[in-house]
């Protein structure tokens, strides 16, 4: 009877490479955990050894996304304020109280 070879039965180096390549390729962490037959993501993390370039890329992606969200909020606020200014500029000026014109 032939033994079925799985990533879990392979050498430690192969497991490290397999897990790392899946994560760096964008696979979901839970998918990777299921692929290697672990019950917990913490066990899978033992085999993860992502490169510094990958870490830097992920940090940059998150920073870019946060910056984009902040800019969108700032532009939306500026647009709202501009619309409010337009609403006030279209109204006739108010007369001070106590100085009403007699008709």
Domain boundaries, the chain: 1-50, 52-90
The better pLDDT of the pair 80, 8 is held by: 80
Phi, psi of 7, rounded to the nearest 5 degrees = -55, -30
- pTM score: 0.48
Instruction: Give per-residue pLDDT as tens, 16-43.
Output: 888 999 999 999 999 999 998 999 999 9
| Helix (H) and strand (E) counts in the chain | 4, 0
The contacts of residue 39 (CB under 8 Å, 6+ apart) are: none
Cα distance between residue 87 and residue 95, in whole Å: 18
Residue range 49-69, pLDDT digits in tens: 888 888 899 899 999 999 999
């Amino acid at each position: 009877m032939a033994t079925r070879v799985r990533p879990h039965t392979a050498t430690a180096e192969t497991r490290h490479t397999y897990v790392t390549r899946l994560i760096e390729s964008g696979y979901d962490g839970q998918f990777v955990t299921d692929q290697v037959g672990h019950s917990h993501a913490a066990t899978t993390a033992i085999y993860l050894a992502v490169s510094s370039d990958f870490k830097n890329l992920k940090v940059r992606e998150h920073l870019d996304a946060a910056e984009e969200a902040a800019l969108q909020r700032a532009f939306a606020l500026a647009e709202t304020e501009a619309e409010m200014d337009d609403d006030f500029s279209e109204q006739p000026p108010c007369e001070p109280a106590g100085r009403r014109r007699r008709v």
